[in-house]
């Protein structure tokens, strides 16, 4: 029996990776099947960038609002009644809960757990060991994960014992190059330009990239770092660049609209994140022929094939070391996934000296660099195809609707 109605529960207050993936998923899913999609916005509103891109004929209602009035938390019966009303009106075959470990118990109760799938995209890393999260995971029967790391985080940290299907993220159509680029043959011969693409927050490890740049310059490289992104660490990172005497070699580009032009300006992506459930930015860089050096943490090793599309470097510095480098450990999660040991542990940072040497290894070897550039382009074309991602997700959802089991991988 084909899927007819799908109800999405998702927070759309922001316009980050989850929200953008959601918008493109709904659009592509509607092209592939005749199922009706409806959205329950779980926050206070819909970000203007999301509203502009979401298909205009997809209905959106608000979980915590009725008649334009926000429902109070107490008595809880008001919000529970709202949930039941939404489900009864939409009559979904399947309810898909996007990355919301907390505040979803009422959704399970209203829809019936047997109709619910949770799509994990990083929430299992967040701080907060609330009973509600564990109760939700004890009740939800099926989970789609965007990486093997996400699956193991759910199992090792939260004790999830239900069925899981890993469906890797893919490169959204809006991020594809307009014209397929040719493989790059070498890094900058006379000058080396590194790139960071990240929200400027402590979890992204940008302070490590600044220290690695300082070491490259001290070793005689005419190196520059261009940073695409903004966030709460902006001023802190500017001050660190000043202290390291590299401020004239660091370009803070802010939010970049034309990412194709940004990738054309850099030779190598550097992504020293302390946590990264998947690592979409590394896929995107590969689609433009830019090799990457990344932390060997969480899902990044599933995106970057070590020694093929880039290098995955094991992080070895603890929180005290990271603070000494100018990083802020206040916003770090309690655990990350260590793929080498299949365990969870406290987050660690890359050693800037190790990162510096890895950059040199790639950029001093034209043959290696060209091979990685070509492999990254091939991975974007073959491994991270958005249509395949949507096909696999819909097949799993439809299988769950018909049999209670997620479909196996194609």
Between 37 and 410, residue with greater pLDDT? 37
For tokens 């940073």, what's the residue? Answer: 227
Segments of 67-141 assigned E as strands:
69-70, 94-98, 116-120
Average pLDDT over every residue of 323-327: 96
Main-chain dihedrals φ then ψ at residue 308, nearest 5 degrees = -115, -55
Span 99-154, pLDDT tens digits: 999 889 999 999 999 999 999 999 999 999 899 999 999 999 999 999 999 999 99
Considering the entire predicted model, what is its pTM?
0.96
Span 62-111, pLDDT tens digits: 999 998 899 998 998 999 999 999 999 999 999 999 999 988 999 999 99
Q: Calculate the CA 102 to chain-centre distance.
A: 19
Cα–Cα distance for residue pair 227/169, rounded to 1 Å: 23
- Provide the 8-state DSSP code for 404: S
Cα–Cα distance for residue pair 153/171, rounded to 1 Å: 23
Cα–Cα distance for residue pair 98/8, rounded to 1 Å: 7
Task: Give CATH for domain 176-382.
Answer: 3.40.50.2000
Domain spanning 5-170+386-403, CATH class: alpha beta
Cα–Cα distance for residue pair 139/404, rounded to 1 Å: 14
Q: Is 90 exceeded by the pLDDT of residue 53?
A: yes
H/E segment holding residue 164? strand 163-166
Segments of 91-167 assigned E as strands:
94-98, 116-120, 142-145, 163-166
Report pLDDT for 103: 87
Question: How high does pLDDT run on average in the chain?
Answer: 96
DSSP secondary structure string for all residues of 317-328 = B-HHHHHHTT--
- 8 Å CB contact between 339 and 297: yes
Percent of the chain whose pLDDT exceeds 90: 91
Alpha helices in 12-95 (DSSP H): 17-32, 48-53, 76-90
Q: Is 60 exceeded by the pLDDT of residue 372?
A: yes
Q: Roughly what angle, to the nearest 10 degrees, separates helices 366-382 and 280-287?
A: 110
Provide CATH 3.40.50.2000 ranges for the chain. Answer: 5-170+386-403, 176-382
Report pLDDT for 94: 98
Span 212-264, pLDDT tens digits: 999 999 999 999 999 999 999 999 999 999 999 999 999 999 999 999 999 99
Structure tokens at 297: 């943490």
Cα–Cα distance for residue pair 67/69, rounded to 1 Å: 5
- Provide the 8-state DSSP code for 229: B
Report pLDDT for 410: 57
Structure tokens at 164: 């899981």
Length of the chain: 410
Cα–Cα distance for residue pair 359/325, rounded to 1 Å: 19
CB burial of residue 390 (10 Å; 0-12, 13-18, 19+): buried
Span 263-298, pLDDT tens digits: 999 999 999 999 999 999 999 999 999 999 999 999
């Amino acid at each position: 029996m084909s899927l007819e109605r799908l109800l999405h529960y998702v927070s759309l207050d922001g316009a980050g990776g989850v929200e953008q993936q959601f918008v493109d998923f709904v659009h592509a899913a509607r092209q592939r099947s005749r199922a009706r999609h409806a959205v329950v916005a779980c926050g206070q509103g819909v970000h203007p960038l999301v509203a502009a891109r979401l298909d205009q004929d997809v209905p959106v209602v608000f979980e915590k609002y009725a008649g334009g009035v926000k429902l109070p938390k107490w008595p809880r019966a008001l919000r529970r009644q709202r949930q039941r009303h939404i489900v009864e009106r939409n009559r979904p075959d399947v309810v898909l809960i996007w990355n919301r470990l907390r505040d979803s118990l009422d959704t399970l109760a209203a829809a019936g757990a047997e109709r619910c799938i949770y799509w994990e995209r990083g929430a299992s890393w967040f701080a907060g060991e609330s009973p509600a999260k564990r109760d939700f995971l004890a009740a939800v029967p099926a989970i789609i994960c965007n990486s093997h790391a996400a699956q193991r985080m759910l199992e090792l940290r939260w004790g999830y014992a239900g069925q899981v299907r890993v469906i890797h993220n893919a490169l959204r159509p809006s991020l594809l190059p307009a014209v397929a680029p040719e493989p790059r043959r070498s890094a900058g011969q006379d000058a080396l330009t590194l790139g960071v693409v990240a929200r400027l927050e402590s979890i992204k490890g940008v302070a490590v990239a600044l220290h690695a740049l300082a070491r490259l310059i001290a070793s005689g490289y005419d190196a520059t770092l261009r940073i695409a992104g903004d966030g709460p660490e902006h001023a802190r990172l500017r001050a660190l660049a000043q202290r390291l005497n590299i401020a004239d070699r660091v370009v803070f580009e802010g939010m970049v609209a034309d990412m194709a032009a940004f990738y054309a300006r850099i030779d190598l992506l550097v992504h020293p994140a302390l946590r990264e459930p998947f690592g979409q930015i590394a896929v995107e860089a590969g689609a433009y022929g830019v090799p990457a050096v990344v932390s060997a943490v969480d899902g990044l090793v599933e995106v970057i094939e070590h020694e093929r599309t880039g290098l995955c470097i094991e992080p070895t510095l603890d929180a005290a070391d990271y603070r000494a480098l100018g990083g802020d450990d206040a916003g770090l999660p309690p655990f990350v996934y260590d793929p080498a040991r299949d365990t969870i542990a406290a987050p660690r940072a890359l050693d800037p000296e190790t990162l510096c040497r890895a950059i040199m290894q790639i950029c001093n070897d034209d043959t290696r660099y060209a091979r990685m550039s070509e492999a990254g382009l091939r991975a974007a074309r073959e491994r991270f195809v958005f249509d395949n991602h949507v096909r696999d997700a819909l097949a799993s959802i439809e299988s769950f609707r018909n049999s209670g089991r997620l479909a196996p991988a194609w």
